[in-house]
Structures are given as structure tokens and as C-alpha cells.
């Protein structure tokens, strides 16, 4: 499944994922949400060591969920499909093995902040505003804006945005830990390039394992991380080769270290 409004380019070890829907403030509809999961799978299986996530134009990084798309859902479809499908797509992005760098080149509100929270590093241009206005529309943040956002930014910051409707400028967002770096307007892409060059000098495998362990410590995909790390160790063990050989030869295995 593909969607031309989600543009993925992979070259020289860098995956660049750009939302190209500037006329709708880079809002996501159901088709775009569905397309995000196979794009993440493509990134995961590529030779990319870093992912750069951004939106088209300079007005909005992403307005999150397209109001026209979700407001037409029945309550049942809203909960069963819109919210759950969005969670699945954003989980896929947050759990990529590669570091994800979000370049906030425009306002980051509602679901746009939920999307940015999937990244490991957020670079904000100085004109950006960040907030969670959903309660003002009579709805809640449904794509982990009260879950992943709390884990990554802290409950009190989320309370100020989600309960009180506070909107932060880039400098205040930096002070609160919502973003990691603030750069002048138009300088987000060069700042991301500097991060790419820094990561290019580091071990991709060690970086991947470190991200997995940090995610697990944070409560992000803990079960999968534990099993993936244990599975890697088991697959590298001579026990696996012996176990498979015994299976093929229809004999009891003779595992090393058993004194046999």
C-alpha cells in the first residue's frame, strides 16, 4: 500500500519521510495512516541508519488527524478503527530500529505532536508553536497523546497542553523538553544534516541496540525488545546449529557444555 502524500526517499543510508499535503496543513487521513505501516517496514528492512521526518512547506509540520476524516466516523468506527489504526501506525514509527529525527519546520499541534513524539530527536524551527488543542474541539488526543507523550515529556507538561490548552513557542518547548534543539526558520534541514553526520560516525548496530534498550526502559515495546535481544543471542549460539542438525538427522541433540 502506497500513498503519494507520504514521500519516502532512501539514499546514502538516510531515509527521508516527508508528508506532502501542505494544502491541508499536512494532516493525515485514513489512507495515509494505513500507508505509514508498510513504509516503516520498508525503512526497517533498508540499509538506512537514520530517518528524517518532516512536513512539506513551512506552515505546519503536521496538523495530525484530518478533521474531515475523523469527524465523519461513527463513535464505534472512531474508537475501533481511527484511534486503533493510528496507534498501530505511530507505534511502527516509534519502534523503528533506526533513530528518527523529526524536523518541525511548521506548527506541531494535536496529532502532529503525537507524530513528533514518535521521534528520538526533535529539531524545531524558531517560529513553531506546539500544543494539544483537542479538548477545545470536544475530543481527546487519541494517538498516544496522553500515553507516549507523558512517557517522553512528563505528565505535567502534557497536563498544561491537554487540560489547560497551553500552546508553547519553540524556546519554551525547548525549556520543557518537548524539543531538543531550536534553530532559525529555514535551518531545520541543515541541522538534521549535522545530526546525520554525527550518527554516520557511530556504530549502527550499537546505536540500534541502545535505542531498543532505551525504549524498553521507557516502557516502549518492552516485551518485543526483551525477546528480540534474547532471540539474537540464542540464534548466535552453537546450540542452534546443533539443535537444527539433530532435527534434520532425526537424533537427540548433543548440546555443548552438557559434559557429553
CA 52 from chain centre, in angstroms, equals 10
Other Cβ atoms closer than 10 A to 164: 10
From the list 114, 125, 249, 260, the catalytic residue is: 114
Question: Across-strand partners of 103?
Answer: 54, 123
- With residues binned 3-state (H G I as helix, E B as strand, rest as coil), the percentages for the chain, rounded to 5, are 50, 15, 35
φ/ψ (deg, to 5) at 25: 60, 30
Q: What span, in angstroms and rounded, lies between the C-alpha atoms of 163 and 78?
A: 21
From the list 44, 76, 125, 134, the catalytic residue is: 134
φ/ψ (deg, to 5) at 18: -120, 130
Residue 28, CB half-sphere, CA atoms under 13 Å: how many?
30
Torsion of CA 191, 65, 56, 17, to 10 degrees: 60
**Minimal CA–CA distance to 58: which of 172, 188, 244?**
188
Q: Is 134 assigned a catalytic role?
A: yes
Helix (H) or strand (E) holding 19: strand 14-19
SS3 114: helix
Q: What span, in angstroms and rounded, lies between the C-alpha atoms of 103 and 17?
A: 11
Report, as residue numbers or ranges, the catalytic residues.
114, 134
Amino acid at each position: 500500500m502506497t500513498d503519494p502524500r507520504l514521500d519516502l526517499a532512501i539514499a546514502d543510508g538516510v531515509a527521508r519521510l516527508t508528508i506532502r499535503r501542505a494544502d491541508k496543513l499536512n494532516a493525515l487521513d485514513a489512507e495515509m495512516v494505513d500507508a505509514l505501516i508498510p513504509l516503516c517496514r520498508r525503512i526497517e528492512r533498508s540499509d538506512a541508519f537514520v530517518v528524517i521526518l518532516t512536513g512539506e512547506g513551512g506552515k505546519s509540520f503536521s496538523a495530525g488527524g484530518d478533521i474531515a476524516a475523523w469527524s465523519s466516523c461513527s463513535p464505534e468506527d472512531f474508537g475501533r478503527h481511527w484511534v486503533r489504526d493510528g496507534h498501530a501506525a505511530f507505534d511502527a514509527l516509534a519502534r523503528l530500529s533506526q533513530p528518527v529525527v523529526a524536523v518541525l519546520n511548521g506548527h506541531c499541534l494535536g496529532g502532529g505532536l503525537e507524530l513528533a513524539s514518535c521521534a528520538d530527536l526533535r529539531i524545531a524551527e524558531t517560529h513553531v508553536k506546539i500544543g494539544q488543542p483537542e479538548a477545545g474541539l470536544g475530543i481527546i488526543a487519541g494517538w498516544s497523546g496522553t500515553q507516549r507523550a507523558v512517557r517522553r515529556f512528563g505528565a505535567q507538561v502534557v497536563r498544561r497542553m491537554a487540560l489547560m490548552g497551553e500552546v508553547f513557542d519553540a524556546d519554551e518547548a525547548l525549556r520543557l523538553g518537548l524539543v531538543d534543539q531550536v534553530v532559525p526558520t529555514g535551518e531545520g534541514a541543515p541541522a538534521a544534516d549535522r545530526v546525520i553526520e554525527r550518527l554516520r560516525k557511530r556504530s549502527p548496530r550499537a546505536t540500534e541496540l541502545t535505542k531498543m534498550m532505551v525504549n524498553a526502559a521507557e516502557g516502549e515495546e518492552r516485551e518485543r525488545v526483551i525477546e528480540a535481544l534474547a532471540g539474537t543471542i540464542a540464534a548466535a549460539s552453537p546450540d542452534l546449529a546443533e539443535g537444527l542438525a539433530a532435527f534434520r538427522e532425526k537424533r537427540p541433540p548433543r548440546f555443548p557444555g552438557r559434559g557429553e
